[in-house]
Amino acid sequence: MGAWELLLVGVVMLLGLCGVLVPGVPGSWLVWAGTAWWALQDPNGLAWGVLVGATLVLLLSQAVRWQLPPRRLRESGATHRMAAYAGGGALVGFCLVPVLGALPGFVGGIYLAERIRLGGRGEAMTAVRTALRAGGWSVFVELFACLLIVGAWVGAAVWGS
């Protein structure tokens, strides 16, 4: 697979990561579609392993999400800015402390957005708890699954070439 095709697969996956944070956009399925596209264009054992792993991770994340409360983020006062901060924080945390850093990055991103919006520490902490209870955990589970898949794809694309 050429560099341009890899770049396009990466763009589809990036759109999928952003789509996880936007209600109504099938972000996790865009990430899976990018992985499937890559695996079908570059059929080898590593690519198929990543595709099978991605499928299992997505199915597991869907099963976990069904056990969590439904998303009611709009009613809790969540904003697009908060979603962007949470997603950016999870991505930065995932890269700085591989895999495990996504959770503190996600929660830290929500806290930072709410601290900027509300001003006080106590109000921001209350807003973080409210956002997580109103469906933030569901968003995190889906985002974390997508980050794992994109990380595996990047590793396989770098290692496999």
Tell me what pLDDT residue 74 has. Answer: 66
Which of 104, 32, 93, 106 lies closest to 62, judged by CA?
A: 32
Write out the H or E segment, with its range, that includes residue 71.
none
pLDDT at residue 121 greater than cutoff 80 = yes
d(CA 16, CA 20): 6
Tell me what pLDDT residue 21 has. Answer: 87
Q: Give the angle subtended at the CA of 59 by the CAs of 23 and 62, to the nearest 5°.
A: 40
d(CA 143, CA 145): 5
Which of 119, 85, 82, 121 lies closest to 105, judged by CA?
A: 85
pTM: 0.89
- The amino acid sitting at 110 is I
Taking the alpha carbons of 98, 100, 102, 108 in that order, is the dihedral positive or negative? negative
d(CA 53, CA 49): 6
Neighbours of 64 (CB within 10 A): 15
d(CA 40, CA 141): 27
pLDDT at residue 73 greater than cutoff 70 = no
Please write the tens of the pLDDT for every residue from 49-69.
999 999 999 999 999 988 887
pLDDT at residue 161 greater than cutoff 70 = no
Tell me what pLDDT residue 131 has. Answer: 87
